Amino acid sequence: MPDFPADFRWGVSTSAYQIEGATDVDGRGPSIWDTFAREPGRIVDGSTGDEACDHHHRYAEDTALLAGLGVSAYRFSIAWPRVQPTGAGPANAAGLDFYDRLVDGLLDAGVDPVATLFHWDLPQPLEDAGGWLNRDTAARFAEYADLTAARLGDRVKLWITLNEPFIHMTLGYGLGTHAPGRMLLFDSFPVAHHQLLGHGLAVAALRARSTSEVAIANNYSPVRQVGDTDADRAAARAYDALHNRLFTDPLLGRGYPDAPGYDPTVVRDGDLDVVAAPIDVLGVNYYNPTGIRAPEEGSPLPFEMVPLDGYPRTAFDWPVAPDGLRELLGQLHDRYGDALPPIQVTESGCAYDDAPDADGRVHDPERIAYLDGHVRAVHDAIGAGVPVTGYFVWSLLDNWEWAEGFTKRFGLVHVDYPTQRRTPKSSYAWFRDLIRR
Ligand code: IFM
């Protein structure tokens, strides 16, 4: 593996509902994922995040795993319903106490705390008032950011406002496969705008309380155009605008692209200035590229997704394409030029059906190959002048993978859910050695 700059940030990521469990302690309120997971048929194995990895009780053991890995940073998320059980009103001190202990433990272990404020677990009362379709949720989010930064702002090193607002809009409000389970298809643009408005308002709140850096973590997927007609080109452009530009153009001061569903009547005077508040880091979550061609005649969609051949596949059936990460990083650089802040890859990883062998060891050579390829892609991009300053593996632990329940394992550490026993996989040792070198 070639050398990286000495101050390159190596980390791992998790999110609250996927690992914490303990959903009924310290006054935590219900979130949309508590509600959604309880609805029959929503989660493939019928599970919920009630226990997940029991990290809320086992955070000290998990912090020791981070220390053993030697990462310089740990990206976790804060559960809004722990901080504000109803999504409004004063901070619930007992809920924040947990993150206080976690952050102090990380600092003692020499690991920078990187905190995401919203990784999809909206307090249920806010959903009852319209969720992110309601403009008021943006203001509530800024209030929550303020309360959180008042408590942790002196120790969190990097704030990430939102995780993957594109995925939250598309799966949560467009297709209904994630909480809150609405199926608005292309009528979900208000969810995009209100999340971005909430991001901008939260940036201001965080800056007022904390001198730490501020970022957003967007999901990107470079588009592979399949076919070469004008209609194929138009379809590829439409998908690219929706997935890759809708949540980035306005952040970096360019206003909204003409993406499918874009509705300018939702955007009020002055909003775009709030959304474009300067950020210090652009978080990039990358998993795979997307094949796109023109839709069939009569299709309600302006594009059609096509499986990409010629790549190995993960247990999620996602293509393993490190070249897509290289392409994406170059594209962001070319597209936004000087307006692009330093990038940190805030998620990169893969699911495989990992299980302990007869000796209790967990070998995951596919994950090592996956990570090796993606880390090299980052190195190539840096060599070509793209400002990339960090790389976080998704995920530290096997965890509760949303609608897939416990069926998809992304961790560097295997979790045996019935006993909650943690077993570092061979990829854990590989990543540890890479960081040491
Ligand atoms: O587990 C998720 C995470 O919550 C958001 N990004 C993608 C991961 C894998 O699907």
pLDDT, tens digit, for every residue of 116-133? 999 999 999 999 999 999
pLDDT value at position 239? Answer: 98
Q: Distances from the Cα of 372 to the Cαs of 308, 402, 433, in angstroms?
A: 21, 26, 12
pLDDT of residue 37: 98
Mutate to test the pocket of ligand 1, among 43, 218, 394 (most ligand atoms within 8 A of CB): 394
Between helix 365-383 and helix 322-336 the angle, nearest 10°, is: 30
The mean pLDDT of 410-414, rounded to a whole number, is 99
**pLDDT tens digits for range 138-156:** 999 999 999 999 999 999 9
Residue 1 has pLDDT above 90, yes or no: no
Mean pLDDT, residues 309-324 taken together:
97
Q: Is 89 exposed, middle or buried (0-12, 13-18, 19+ CB in 10 A)?
A: exposed
The answer, yes or no, to whether any atom of ligand 1 lies below 6 A from the CB of 394, is yes
In this prediction the pTM is 0.98
For residue 366, indicate whether it is catalytic: no
CATH architecture assigned to 9-436: Alpha-Beta Barrel (3.20)
Q: Whose CA is nearest to atom 4 of ligand 1?
A: 15
Catalytic residue among 164, 213, 327, 401: 164
Residue of 317, 169, 339 whose CA lies nearest to 247: 169
β-strand pairing of 9-13 with 304-306: unpaired
**pLDDT value for 59:** 98
User: In this structure, which residue's CA is closest to atom 10 in ligand 1?
Assistant: 401
pLDDT at position 354 is 98
Q: Angle CA(138)–CA(143)–CA(147) in degrees, nearest 5?
A: 145
Q: Which of 160, 171, 314, 401 to mutate to test the pocket of ligand 1 (most atoms within 8 A of CB)?
A: 401
The arithmetic mean of pLDDT across residues 81-102, rounded, is 98
Q: 365 falls in which pLDDT band (50, 70, 90)? A: very high
* Average pLDDT score, the chain: 98
Residue range 15-20: mean pLDDT, rounded: 99
The whole-number average pLDDT for the span 299-304 is 94
pLDDT digits (tens, 9 = 90+) for 243-278: 999 999 999 999 999 999 999 999 999 999 999 999
143 included as an active-site residue: no
Domain borders along the chain are 9-436
Measured between alpha carbons, how far is 151 from 99 in angstroms, rounded to an integer?
9
Residue 335 confidence (pLDDT) above 90: yes
What would the mean pLDDT of 411-432 be, rounded to a whole number?
A: 98
| Ligand 1 close to Cβ of residue 398 (< 6 A) | no
Q: What's the 120 CA to ligand 1 centre distance in angstroms? A: 11
d(CA 244, CA 167): 11
The HSE-up count of residue 318 (CA atoms within 13 Å, CB side) is: 19
Cα(162) to centroid(ligand 1), Å: 13
Index of the ligand 1 atom closest to the CA of residue 285: 6
Please answer whether residues 229 and 294 qualify as being in contact, where contact means their C-beta atoms are separated by less than 8 angstroms: yes
Cβ-based neighbour number of residue 338 at 10 Å: 6
| pLDDT above 90 for 184 | yes
- Any atom of ligand 1 within 6 Å of the Cβ of 401: yes
pLDDT of residue 98 exceeding 90: yes
Which residue's CA is the nearest one to ligand 1's atom 1? 401
Find the 395 Cα to ligand 1 centroid distance in Å.
Answer: 9
Give the distance (Å) from ligand 1 centre to CA of residue 401: 7
DSSP of 10-41: EEEE--HHHH---TTSTTPPPBHHHHHHHSTT
